Structure 1
Amino acid sequence: MIMLAAQKFAVWCLLATDIHFLAAAIQTCETAWFDEADVTGEGDSELLKDLTRMHVARICSDPVDMEARTVSGIKSQHTRNTFHIYSASEGLLCLNSEQEQRQCEDFKVKFTCTGHFCSECQTRWFDHDDPTGNGDYELLSDLLNMYPGGICPQPIAVEAQTVSGQPASNTSHTFLNYDATYGFSCVNADQEGGICDDYRVRFTCPEEFCEVSEECRTLWLNGDDPSGEGDVESIPQLLKTFPGQVCRNPIRIEAQTPSGIATSQTGDTFMAYDVAFGLACINEHQEDKQCEDYQVILTCPSDFCQSCRTQWFNLDNPSGKGDYETVVRLQMLHPTLVCSQPVAIEAMTVSGNPAHRTGDIFQIYDASRGFACVNAEQPGGRQCQDYKVRFTCPLAFCSAATD
């Protein structure tokens, strides 16, 4: 009898361990903050049914947790408000009539989701910072600059874990930010009796971000300079200045100075910097300086590249310093197969993964120079993948080839 009881206890311990492991392994992710209703005469309403209707596909239908703060950042539990509804399954409802001597605060809410919602269109893990300074900052704005094309500009969720694989929610740390709009930050000074762990993050993107399997990049385009009112590189003007070399509906835009300095490092303020308009830097909007001179490169839908495409080329592999598929070298080896002035370039791994999905950093990736991925420039000491490239040429190049 004693032996049987001991065996049952041992089995129960194993089951309990498995259950605990499975619970810890459940993947969760944090949405953006939502603030749809202002405080009215009745109160503040941030109900899940209303939010999911207004933000289709940006909130899961069955959240497992909810957090609420005032729009100024005060946690809901630190306010004096009483809530009529406060749950992950329903959202938040604060009624003025139920408060003592004060009205409801203006609240924002975010939800914790799980399962398919988090993993349907997911990026790779990113670990840009560590806690050796003020803390660990894995900010979306920084990661977008470092990994152009590797993250959607408006994620619907973010997941964070330590580099050893422990979910952020299972640690004892307090996070300054942990949401899809901002990213993640853990400040050492906010922790009790220690510093933050080293964290990594990955994002969940809208489905259409993953549906783009092929895309192509233009030349670097510089149609204006800041000598007048400022530097304006608008899509309509670029279409006129560079006929046949600019798509009308770009997917992404990147800008830098002709010497290669990124926009995030110039200190300039931009009136516009998006695919709908292009780039606009106005001199009078800057503090005690004029705008830098900028050039832009556009990422276009795959149909922009289909008019006059070359074959795929794979001259190099990353076994040495990296993978170099440059225009100069390709033209030397295949003078009749590559035009002298390509208008677009595509790159993907030899296994068929588009370059913008790999997370590698590219030293060169434009139609005028070609492609270069340098091993020494990759985060985490990893090696570049093996890439192949093809080019889009002016229509006259394909016409001459058929004559």
Structure 2
Amino acid sequence: MEDGEYSIKPASGQVYWTKWYNRDSPGGTGDWEILNHLRKENPGEICENPQNIEVVATGTLTSALSTGEIFSLYSPTEGFVCRNKDQKGGGPCRDYTVRFACPIYWTKWYNRDSPGGTGDWEILNHLRKENPGEICENPQNIEVVATGTLTPALNTGEIFFLYSPTEGFVCRNKDQKCGGSCRDYTVRFACPSEDAAAQVEAEAAQVEDMEYDSESDKVSIADSQTSRGDLYTLEEKSKMPLSIDLSDLQVNLQIQLNQQMKKIAGQTGLTEMILMDLESGTLSELRNEHPGEICPKPSDIEYETLSGLTADEAGDV
């Protein structure tokens, strides 16, 4: 059986299975299905952090773990190796085929069309245009349910013109038995978890880039673990219990302080004021933490407290 001809296991839980790969045969020293080699020969197809590996004997689909042969490597992060010299009686290994389980996340549900007219058309390109940035470039699976009842589309008995993670879903009225119309369907897509991590990092970066003109402005604090976007004023923050996450409050203060310092810098030619850690503050440390922001030979230094007092007014030594 040729590479990729095995049926692909649908995404289940939080993983999807790649296609099957068979890059080597047991001739020579054995069967070497090394992950790095597979990635080079199949760019973009295998995720960065596979969660599991499945290995079967080519042709029979017998699980490698049931063959009684000895393997020198059987790892989702490195691949699979069966060496001829390790087998009993010096016999050669069987030929093996492998695939990898990759982590995923599911998008939200989408329902852009209804079965009126020619049918229900949930085309991926249209969904992307109407929901920019929400659906990954390479969905690994699609789930379709009847709107309202949540019955899986595959259990409705209706005929579908398109059912694809990379193109979307279409149910045409003219394809149904006895001229009946399609049900209304809702879809979602399974995306590689690497895309989810990139999305969280981008949202966090947007928080740091936000600028505000006064203390009364509201600040949105992105929480990557709970995905909340609560809005608080500084006055509301001060009334909250002390168990509040101090990292949120620090972001609040840093955003407003940086905004004030930008205005001062524009008038005086000074660099932006940098919010220092209480336990650090040498020039070399500040340069490491803020690359490219401090000139090679500063001619003066100015600093103040978070409340706006100068060093002289604060009275600290």
TM-score, length-scaled by structure 1? 0.36
* Larger Rg, first or second structure (1 or 2): 2
Higher strand residue share: 1
